Amino acid sequence: MANQSTQEVIEELKKLLSEKGDLDCEVQGKIERLIAEYSGVGAVIEYAVGSLEVRNILVIGHSKCGGIERLMTLPEDGSNEFDFIDDWVRIGLSAKEKVLSENPNLSLDEQCKLCEKESVKNSVRNLWSYPYVRKAVMDGNLKLWGGYYDFIHGKFELLEDAHVIPVVPA
Ligand SMILES: [Zn+2]
């Protein structure tokens, strides 16, 4: 597993998805959200890593994401229109800030698209804050991946720089 190429991982994921369609849809449905630092989706991740011993976690962003659009258009004054949705999308604030500072002149549409990908990387980074995820990765038993599904053009891509292990203080 440790020496698998990216292409092999994609093939394996495709196979898994087609074989275990029901199971995977169920799991995917449960964790379809931005991953906060150690908290929110902890139970699902703990179950996947600790009990199911999954070998790969793939965080997938997607085109035309309503959550990301909300994140990108949140009022500057910090006021909430939606209590839960707005608190939830704020998990991606650092991704938003990065996109805005690097691409201040792009259209909202283009900024949203970049943020859809950036927030995947953010979520992968946040996965790293879960102790059992960190241990499984360090032991070579788990890999973290980021992907992006563009359903307008029917394209899936792996975000090459999303699974770089962040440097953590000892
Ligand atoms: Zn979405």
Q: What pLDDT, in 10s, does the model give residues 64-73? A: 999 899 999 9
pTM of whole model > 0.85? no
25 among annotated binding-site residues? no
> Is the pLDDT reported for residue 27 higher than 50?
no
Higher pLDDT, 102 or 127: 102
Give ∠ CA 149-133-9 in degrees, rounded to 5.
40
Share of the chain above pLDDT 70, in %: 71
Cβ contact 64:152 at 8 Å: yes
d(CA 21, CA 166) in angstroms, rounded, equals: 32
Domains, the chain: 6-163 (3.40.1050.10)
- Ligand 1 centroid distance, CA of 83 (Å): 18
Q: Record the tokens describing residue 20, joined without a space.
A: 């275990």
Residue in the block written with tokens 């259209």: 107
> What is the pLDDT averaged over residues 156-169?
67
Between CA 61 and CA 109 the distance in angstroms is: 15
17 has a pLDDT exceeding 70:
no
Ligand 1 centre to CA of 33 (Å) is 7
What does the alpha-carbon distance between residue 109 and residue 69 come to, in Å, rounded to a whole number?
8
Confidence of residue 1 (pLDDT cuts 50, 70, 90): very low
Surrounding ion ligand 1 within 5 Å at CB are 65, 67
Distance 27 CA to ligand 1 centre (A): 16
| Residue 122 CA to its chain's centroid (Å) | 7
Q: CA–CA separation, 80 vs 136, rounded Å?
A: 37
More confident of the two residues 77 and 112: 112
Judge whether 118 and 110 are in contact, CB under 8 Å. no
Q: How confident is the model at residue 156 (pLDDT cuts 50, 70, 90)?
A: confident
Residue 95 pLDDT exceeds 60: yes
Instruction: Please provide the average confidence, as pLDDT, over all residues in the chain.
Output: 78
Ligand-binding site membership of 115 (annotated):
no
Query: Would you say residue 15 has pLDDT above 50?
Result: yes
* CB environment 125-144: b (16+ within 10 A), e (fewer): bbbbbbeebbebbeeeebbb
Angle, helices 6-19/21-31, rounded to nearest 10 degrees = 110
Give the residue, 69 or 20, on which the prediction is more confident.
69
User: Shortest CA distance to 125 belongs to which of 53, 37, 27?
Assistant: 37
